[in-house]
Amino acid sequence: MDPSLGGDKQPSPAVMLRQTAEKNGLDVLSAEFAAFMDQNDPLREFRSKFAYPRKGGLEATDPSLVDPREECVYLCGNSLGLKPLSADQRINGILQSWANCGVEMHFREPVPAALCDQYGRKSLGNLVGADEDSVVLMNGLTVNLHLLMLAFYKPTTQRYKILIEGHAFPSDRYAMVSQAELHGFSPKDAVLEVNPRPGEHIIRTEDILKLLEREGQSIAVVCLSGVQYYTGQKFDMGTITEAGHKAGCVVGWDLAHTIGNVKIELDKWGVDFAFWCTYKYLNSGPGCLGGAYVNKRHNGSITGRLKGWWSNAEETRFEMRQECDAAPGVEGFRLCNPPPLLATLVLGSLEIFDEATLPRILDKQYLLTGYLELLIKSHFGTDQVKTPLAEIITPADVNQRGSQLSLIFSYPLEQVHKELGRRGVVCDVRLPNVMRIAPAPLYNSFIDVHRFITILKEVFAICKIEAA
C-alpha cells in the first residue's frame, strides 16, 4: 500500500477497514475489531520501545475515575513524542564517556562530541527525501529559520514580501515579522498571508497558486508549513514549490509537523531550504536539536549567512585559521559545536525509524488515522444528529493530511478537554476552538483510538447533562 496514491487508485481507509471487518466477521466499530487490527499490525512491537505514561502520573487525571496503573490514552505525539526507552542508555553513555575520557570524548566512539552532528544524516535525508549532504542537525527550529532567512531573504524595493499561511505557528510568524523589520519593511505590508475562504477551514491550493500568479513579482520568499499545525492540513508542497519558482520566489518549508509524519521529497520538488524540530513525530525529547536542509544547487552561491567556528569545513576547522574556510551548503550554516547529549537522543529516534521504515509507518498511519475518522463520523457525525457533536476540519483527502485530525465540538472545548484529561486522555487544544488528536503509528494502537472514542462518548454524555 502506498498512502501517497490516494484518490481513485486505492480504496479509502474507511472502505479498507470495513472490508477487513466484514471478511473476518467483526463489527468495524467494536473493540474486538480494534484488537484484531492490533494483533495483525506489523509495527505492534514498536510500542514496547517507548515509555508509555500511566494515568497515575498525569496531573489532570481524577483518581476516582481511573486506575492509576493503567496506560493513559496518549494522542499528543504531534506536540511531544513519547520517550524511547533507549534514551536513558544513550544519555548515560555520553556522560560515562565524559567521565572516563574528559576532553578525549570529542573523538571517541560511539558518538564523538565533535562529530555527533555528522551522524544520522543519511536517516534524516531519507525522512525528507534529500541527499544526506543537504541536511544537518543543528540548533532549534526558529534559530535555523532565522539563519536560513538571512541567507535567502534578499528583499528589494520591488520584491520584498514573505508569504506565510494565515494562523501560522507563532514561531514562524514572529520570525517573519522580525525579518521584515530587520530589513526596514513594515510587517503589515511585507508579511503576506494566504487564508481559507470565508466559512472554510482549509486553504485551497488553487488560492495559493492564484495569489502567487497575482502577486508573485513582489514576493521574495514563500515559506509555509508542510503540515499546518492547527488544521492538520498537508499542503501540496511540490505544486506550490513549482509555482513559487515560476513566479521568481525562493521557496522554503517548515517541516516541524511534517517530518516523520508524511512523505517528503525536498530534492525532487526542488525546494530551496527547509527546517524542522525533532521532538514531535521524531520523539527526540522536548526542545531537542532541530534540523535544516539547503538544496545543493545553492552551494556555490550562498551569501550573507552568519558564521561561527563550526561553519568552517571539518577538514580545516582545527587549523584555527584567521579567515573562515566555510563548509559548502547547509554545513556552513552551523555556528558552534553541537551538544552530544541532544544529538544522541535524535540518533536514538532515527534508529527506530530506520528499523520501522517510513513506508510501513505511513501504511499504518493510513489505516490508524482513517479508523479515528471512521469512528468519529459514525458516532458523532451528521448521520447521528443534525449538528455534529465533533466536526473534523482536517481534510478527508488522505493526500492532504498526516496523522492529526483537528476537531471542533458542539460543547465547550475547555469542558471537553478537562473531562478527557480526568479520564486519562492526553491531547491538546489550540485556540480559538480546536482539539488536535494525533495517533502516532510507532506507538499508538487501534485500541487507543477505540478507547478515546469510548471515553469521548462518556464526556459528551456529561456535557449534555450539564448543558440541560
Tens of pLDDT, residues 341-373: 999 999 999 999 999 999 999 999 999 999 999
| Confidence label for 388 from pLDDT (cuts 50, 70 and 90) | confident
| Phi (first) and psi of residue 219, to 5 degrees | -95, 125
CATH code for position 408: 3.90.1150.10
pLDDT mean over 424-444: 97
Tens of pLDDT, residues 171-217: 999 999 999 999 999 999 999 999 999 999 999 999 999 999 999 99
- How large is the angle between the packed helices 141-152 and 170-182, nearest 10 degrees? 30
Identity of the residue numbered 250: V
Q: What is the mean pLDDT of the chain?
A: 95
Percentage of residues in the chain having pLDDT higher than 70: 97
CATH code for position 278: 3.40.640.10
Cα(361)–Cα(353) distance, integer angstroms: 8
Cα(459)–Cα(417) distance, integer angstroms: 9
Residue 1 lies in a domain: no
Same domain, 368 and 246: no
Upper half-sphere CA count for residue 88 (Cβ side, 13 Å):
4
pLDDT at residue 243 is higher than 70: yes
pLDDT at residue 468 is higher than 80: no
Tens of pLDDT, residues 30-86: 999 999 999 999 999 999 999 999 999 999 999 999 999 999 999 999 999 999 999
C-alpha cell recorded at residue 140? 532549534
Same domain, 63 and 109: no
- Containing structural domain, residue 419: 7-71+357-467
Identity of the residue numbered 254: D
> Can you give the pLDDT at residue 300?
87
C-alpha cell recorded at residue 133? 549532504
Provide the strand spans (E) within 244-396. Answer: 250-254, 273-276, 291-294, 390-392
Last residue of a domain, one of 305, 334, 354: 354
Domains held by the chain: number: 2
C-alpha cell recorded at residue 142? 526558529
> Can you give the pLDDT at residue 467?
84
Same domain, 162 and 246: yes
> Can you give the pLDDT at residue 99?
97
Helix residue ranges per DSSP H, 40-109: 86-101
Its pTM stands at: 0.95
| Confidence label for 10 from pLDDT (cuts 50, 70 and 90) | confident
Residue 81 lies in a domain: no
> Can you give the pLDDT at residue 6?
40
